[in-house]
Structure 1
Amino acid sequence: MVQDQLQRIFREIFSDDDLVLTDTMTAADVAGWDSLAHINLIYAVERQFSIQIADDRLASFASVGDLRQHIEELRHAA
């Protein structure tokens, strides 16, 4: 399930084993989610799901739900 895999990635990137993702969660809701963490997060997501997120989409995700939905769309298109 995409949500479970994302949660593992977020917990690893942000070193927080108690982090629980929701679709409405944003960078403002996660301690340490800055531009460097965002790059690390996207890189980990691309590796985990074997996808490539287009450069023009990298900054367009307003929430975790937007990212999850994009991952699901890319996986279904493959």
Structure 2
Amino acid sequence: MQEGQIYERLNVIFGDVFDDDSLALKAETTADDVDGWDSLSHIRLVLSVEKAFSVKFSAAEVGKLKNVGELVGLIQSKI
């Protein structure tokens, strides 16, 4: 799966989790850039991403992520 396709799917997932279809993710996007991105929504987001891409992340992998670009890289490494 190409990076652009991953971003397309992530935009839909983020829109669902944060109830905001206007989000436009970039590699530099962080939790500070998204209204409502707290610890609970972070868990919902990770579970939604795992389900959508049929992957599993360890707690250590998730804890190291600094932005959406790193999430995309992690997804690419798993599929």
Shorter chain as denominator, the TM-score bin is over 0.9
Deviation, structure 1 residue 55: 1.6
Instruction: Give % identity.
Output: 37
Deviation, structure 1 residue 59: 1.5
Q: Name the counterpart of 1:63.
A: 67
* Residue 43 of structure 1 pairs with residue 35 of structure 2: no
More helix by share: 2
CA distance in 1, matches of 2:17, 2:53: 16
* Residue 20 of structure 1 pairs with residue 16 of structure 2: no
Counterpart AA for 1:22: K
CA distance in 2, matches of 1:26, 1:9: 15
Q: Superposition RMSD on alpha carbons, in Å?
A: 0.6
Moved over 6 A (4+): none
- Please, which of 4, 10, 15 is the counterpart of residue 11 of structure 1? 15
Could you tell me the TM-score, scaled by structure 1's length? 0.93
Deviation, structure 1 residue 39: 0.2
Could you tell me the TM-score, scaled by structure 2's length? 0.92
Counterpart AA for 2:73: Q
Counterpart AA for 2:39: S
